[in-house]
Amino acid sequence: MLTAEKLDIGYRSRRGTTTIARNLNLRLEAGEFVCLLGPNGAGKSTLMRTIAGIQPPLGGSVVLDGVDIRTLTPNQRATRLSVVLTERATAGLLTGYAMVCLGRFPHTGWFGNLTAEDREAVHNAIELAGAGPFSDRLVAELSDGERQRVMVARALAQEPRLMILDEITAFLDLPRRIEIVRLLGKLASDAKRSILISTHDLDLALRTADRIWLLRADGTLDTGAPEDLVLDGSFGKVFADEGIEFDPLHGSFSLGKAARAGIEVSGGDPVQRAWTIRALERNGFRPLDRAGDHEAYPSLELLGDAGWRLRAGSSAPQSYDKLYELVRALKQMSPTLRGTPLNP
Amino acid sequence: MTKSLEGEAVDPPPDAADASRSSAGRGRLVPFLFPALAALVATLFVLELAIGSIPIPVGDVVRFLLGAESGNEVWNTILWDLRLPRAIAALVCGAALGAAGLQLQTLFRNPLAGPWALGLTGGAELGAAVTIAAGTIVGSAFLAQFGFLSGLGVVASAMLGAAAVAAIVAAVARRVSTMTLLIVGLMLGYLAEGLVSVIMHFTTEIQGKVFASWSDGSFGGVQWEDFPVLLPTLFVGLTVALLMVKPLNALLLGERYAASLGLPVERARLLTLLGAVILAAPVTAYCGPILFIGIIAPHMARGLLNTSDHRLLMPATMLLGAAVTLAADLVVHLPWERHVLHLNAVNAVVGAPFVIALLLRNRNMRAMEF
């Protein structure tokens, strides 16, 4: 549905041309929910704006349904794609409903009066976005999450083939982020709409996107199903550029602190084990399944509800009922523990 | 003439039921609000004709307006030659200033924007001052020829001055933020006013007086022969303002969003600015700088309607602008014993506290983010 070939993006100013990324080849199919990920300054917003036709490409073209978007009139473009921008729409004294009505702008006549058809589109958009309960309140008085829903409804009311949402999850708490991303995924697959969002929410993107566009700081772009990008090491490369280690097993980053010492971990149920390992790693300890030399490493026994029992060296075993205390104790004794290299 | 203009401003917004949903809470009152405002304007218009150093009974004024004689030769003359032109001028100029203010406030997303703040008034003053002073070079005979405030030369140059400032503002507009732009406009206004005092320094006493009486701002100087230029120009300006409600609504969201909705932003910005010049420049040219109306009328409309929807705001602002201006001018020409009150003084003394009260009382007004 949307294709871009040999797309160069960047800025032209009086001082010259700043190219941010070159030679991008992009595809976006109908009904697909795509997340654009990448570090700050990689040019995510520039890419979004170029695709939205807000800013001209430096080379190549963006083609939507067979038409170069730069050849469309502003009004034609607005009936094909809608955007939600990072900048906060200053709404004045507009209610949520009035805001969504503005989404009909490209469809209405001189005065912007709504026909029955327009009103139905507005109604549907508000329903789909779940903005009904607060649509009669002023946008300026809505919470961030409510406002984003109104903005999504407004973008929907435009009845576009492609919706582009920049940093839609920023400023939202986790439940609101999950809600809105889930909503967008559903909106894409239900109505064969294409939706492109940019986000910093790695975890959410990995779990929900049909496809991920991964923009690296050097301006190269990897695309594919989230899992493919993990398996082929694309994520590892992007995070390595930023000095962060990507953990392909968990699909998240690890902070890459230098490991202080190995600790043998045994027992416990999977949940307790997983979070114990996480606590150890967070503090730079390296959990070991079963060390060969029983004397060399402290050993930690997971006892379920009874907590943790730590045996270090020749001293008597100590019990802890909170990881917080366990980790503090480990840190205190860490100079006496034998270190192991991070990557043996 | 008055009827057609009033009718133009009173035009109920099409599709009022739908538009009213866009105002929180007060939607049900909207259908009554416009007739009420229109009635208020009509009442003030009649009072403006009736009250003065020679009071004329309201009934006779109404009869006169309906085409009959008022029953008194002197009254007829007073009404026809003095009060009617003045009242019509106050009516249309008030509507024009309000509409210009609303357009500029939305365009610049700043509640302080208005014809004065953007230097349009200053530009017009400079234009007028240059022309009046040019009489020195051309000769006082020439000056005498158009020595009236309504002299076409003064009017044309005042319009040119306002248009020049608007052109500079529009040219700068592409490169800077709206806040910077507003400051640029303010500075241009000060610059123009400074230049005016410099010019006045070199003029004769008569020229100084001509300029001073113009720059006081009054509808008293407007005469029938001014209307063939003033009324069509303002009519065009008011029509443009009413036709721009949809782009103005889109501009509420900011220029990027407006563009994403399909609005050709550059063109809309130029048209809006041009519309404001067409409205503010002739008013300033014929009546001198009239302050405050352009700022307060839109705020009053927002306070009353509790919405930013221009389909409602624009006609309401026109009506309120007309009402406030008529009321202020009414105060000016009450039969005061000795003093002549200045219109701008009344505007400021009544207008400023009113806006403050409105802002403090209405939490939604405070929540208004431009």
Instruction: Please give the backbone phi and psi of residue A41, each rounded to the nearest 5 degrees, phi first.
Output: 85, 0
Residues A271 and A139 in one domain: no
Cβ contacts below 8 Å, chain A against chain B, sum to 121
Interface-testing mutation among A72, A108, A111, A158, with chain B (most B C-beta atoms within 10 A) = A111
CA distance B119 to chain A (A): 25
Q: Does B16 touch chain A (CB under 8 A)?
A: no
pLDDT at A203 over 70: yes
The pLDDT of residue B148 is 44
pLDDT band at A297 (very low <50, low <70, confident <90, very high): confident
Residue A71 buriedness (CB in 10 A; 0-12 / 13-18 / 19+): exposed
pLDDT at B345 over 70: yes
Q: Which residues of A touch B307 (CB under 8 A)?
A: 93-95, 98
Instruction: Please give the backbone phi and psi of residue B164, each rounded to the nearest 5 degrees, phi first.
Output: -65, -45
Alpha-carbon span B237 to B272, nearest angstrom: 10
If you average pLDDT over residues B79-96, what whole number do you get?
Answer: 93
The pLDDT of residue B139 is 46
Q: Which of residues 144-183 of A touch B (CB under 8 A)?
A: 158
The pLDDT of residue B14 is 42
Q: Which of A76, A105, A113 sits opposite B261 (nearest CB)?
A: A105
Q: Which residues of A touch B18 (CB under 8 A)?
A: 101, 113-114, 119
Contact assignment for B367 to A141 by CB distance below 8 Å: yes
Interface-testing mutation among A14, A15, A50, A93, with chain B (most B C-beta atoms within 10 A) = A93
Alpha-carbon span A115 to A104, nearest angstrom: 10
If you average pLDDT over residues A227-231, what whole number do you get?
Answer: 91
Cβ atoms of B128 and B158 closer than 8 Å: yes
Q: Which of B13, B253, B307 sits opposite A89 (nearest CB)?
A: B253
Alpha-carbon span B355 to A53, nearest angstrom: 41
Q: Which residues of A touch B246 (CB under 8 A)?
A: 105, 108, 110-112
Q: Does B179 touch chain A (CB under 8 A)?
A: no
Q: Does B241 touch chain A (CB under 8 A)?
A: no
Contact assignment for A140 to B23 by CB distance below 8 Å: no
Does the structure's ipTM exceed the value 0.85? no
Q: Residue A111: how many CB atoms within 10 A of its CB? A: 17
Q: Does A92 touch chain B (CB under 8 A)?
A: yes
Give the pair of three-digit tokens for residue A115.
Answer: 């026909």
Residues A282 and A189 in one domain: no
Per-residue pLDDT of A251-265, as tens digits, reads: 777 665 656 678 888
- Residues near A305 by beta carbon (within 8 Å), at least 6 away in sequence: none
Q: Which of A197, A217, A245 is the last residue of a domain?
A: A245
The pLDDT of residue B8 is 39
Kindly state the percentage of chain A with pLDDT values over 70. Answer: 92
Alpha-carbon span A206 to A225, nearest angstrom: 9
Which residues are bridge partners to A308 per DSSP?
A302, A320
Alpha-carbon span B315 to B318, nearest angstrom: 5
Alpha-helical regions (H) of chain A? 44-51, 74-80, 96-102, 116-129, 144-157, 174-191, 202-208, 226-231, 234-241, 270-282, 323-333
Contact assignment for A111 to B307 by CB distance below 8 Å: no
Q: Which residues of B touch A76 (CB under 8 A)?
A: 262
Residues A300 and A204 in one domain: no
Residue whose entry in the numeric block shows the structure tokens 């020829």: B145
Contact assignment for A97 to B22 by CB distance below 8 Å: yes
Q: Which residues of A touch B22 (CB under 8 A)?
A: 94-95, 97-98, 101
The pLDDT of residue B180 is 80
Nearest to B36 by CA among B358, B221, B305: B305
pLDDT band at A287 (very low <50, low <70, confident <90, very high): confident
In angstroms, what CA-CA distances link A299 with A236, A280, A325?
31, 12, 16
pLDDT at A19 over 60: yes
If you average pLDDT over residues A266-273, what whole number do you get?
Answer: 89
Q: Domain count of chain B? A: 1
Answer whether residue A308 is part of any domain: yes
Question: B240 vs B13, which has greater pLDDT?
Answer: B240
Contact assignment for B246 to A112 by CB distance below 8 Å: yes
If you average pLDDT over residues A209-228, what whole number do you get?
Answer: 90
Nearest to A139 by CA among B24, B103, B106, B258: B24
Tell me the pLDDT of chain B averaged across its residues.
80
Residues A89 and A21 in one domain: yes
pLDDT band at A336 (very low <50, low <70, confident <90, very high): low
DSSP state letter for A88 = P
Answer whether residue A252 is part of any domain: no
The pLDDT of residue A308 is 93
pLDDT band at B75 (very low <50, low <70, confident <90, very high): confident
Cβ atoms of A58 and A8 closer than 8 Å: yes
Q: Which of A52, A91, A138 sits opposite B260 (nearest CB)?
A: A52
Answer whether residue A344 is part of any domain: no
Residue whose entry in the numeric block shows the structure tokens 């006081």: B216
Q: Does A101 touch chain B (CB under 8 A)?
A: yes
pLDDT band at B7 (very low <50, low <70, confident <90, very high): very low
CATH number at residue B19: 1.10.3470.10
Containing structural domain, residue A268 = 261-336
Residue A258 buriedness (CB in 10 A; 0-12 / 13-18 / 19+): exposed
If you average pLDDT over residues B167-193, what whole number do you get?
Answer: 81
Q: Which residues of A touch B369 (CB under 8 A)?
A: 90-92, 140
Tell me the pLDDT of chain A averaged across its residues.
86
Residues A228 and A276 in one domain: no
| CA dihedral over A288, A289, A293, A297, signed as positive or negative | positive
Q: Does A138 touch chain B (CB under 8 A)?
A: yes
Residues A283 and A218 in one domain: no
Per-residue pLDDT of A61-104, as tens digits, reads: 999 988 998 899 999 999 999 999 887 777 678 889 999 999 99
Contact assignment for B24 to A112 by CB distance below 8 Å: no
pLDDT at A217 over 80: yes
Helix (H) or strand (E) holding B32: helix B30-50
Q: Does B19 touch chain A (CB under 8 A)?
A: yes
Q: Does B256 touch chain A (CB under 8 A)?
A: yes
The pLDDT of residue B30 is 76
pLDDT band at B28 (very low <50, low <70, confident <90, very high): low
Which residues are bridge partners to A166 per DSSP?
A198
Lowest mean pLDDT: which of A157-166, A193-202, B165-174? B165-174
Lowest mean pLDDT: which of A320-329, B290-299, B337-346, B355-364? B355-364
If you average pLDDT over residues A52-68, what whole number do you get?
Answer: 89
Q: Domain count of chain A? A: 2
- Give counts: helices (H), strands (E), chain B: 19, 0
Containing structural domain, residue B174 = 2-367
First to last CA, chain A: 48
If you average pLDDT over residues A242-246, what whole number do you get?
Answer: 76
Answer whether residue A342 is part of any domain: no
Contact assignment for B262 to A75 by CB distance below 8 Å: yes
pLDDT at A111 over 70: yes
Alpha-carbon span A115 to B15, nearest angstrom: 9
Residue in chain A nearest B311 by alpha carbon: A111
Q: Which of A52, A74, A141 sits opposite B262 (nearest CB)?
A: A74
Residues A195 and A228 in one domain: yes
Q: Which of A221, A245, A269 is the last residue of a domain?
A: A245
Instruction: Please give the backbone phi and psi of residue A24, each rounded to the nearest 5 degrees, phi first.
Output: -85, 135
Q: Which residues of A touch B19 (CB under 8 A)?
A: 113
Q: Which of A197, A212, A245 is the last residue of a domain?
A: A245
Lowest mean pLDDT: which of A110-124, A219-233, A298-312, B341-355? B341-355
Q: Does B92 touch chain A (CB under 8 A)?
A: no
CATH number at residue A16: 3.40.50.300
Contact assignment for A74 to B23 by CB distance below 8 Å: no
Residues A271 and A192 in one domain: no
Alpha-carbon span A222 to A234, nearest angstrom: 7
Contact assignment for B22 to A85 by CB distance below 8 Å: no
Q: Which residues of A touch B365 (CB under 8 A)?
A: 93
Q: Which residues of A touch B14 (CB under 8 A)?
A: 111, 113
Helix axes of B152-173 and B120-138: crossing angle, nearest 10 degrees: 140
Q: Which of A89, A102, A114 sits opposite B18 (nearest CB)?
A: A114
Kindly state the percentage of chain B with pLDDT values over 90. Answer: 23
CATH number at residue A316: 3.30.160.150
Answer whether residue A307 is part of any domain: yes
Residues A57 and A7 in one domain: yes
Contact assignment for B369 to A91 by CB distance below 8 Å: yes
Q: Which residues of B touch A74 (CB under 8 A)?
A: 259, 262-264
Residues A147 and A231 in one domain: yes
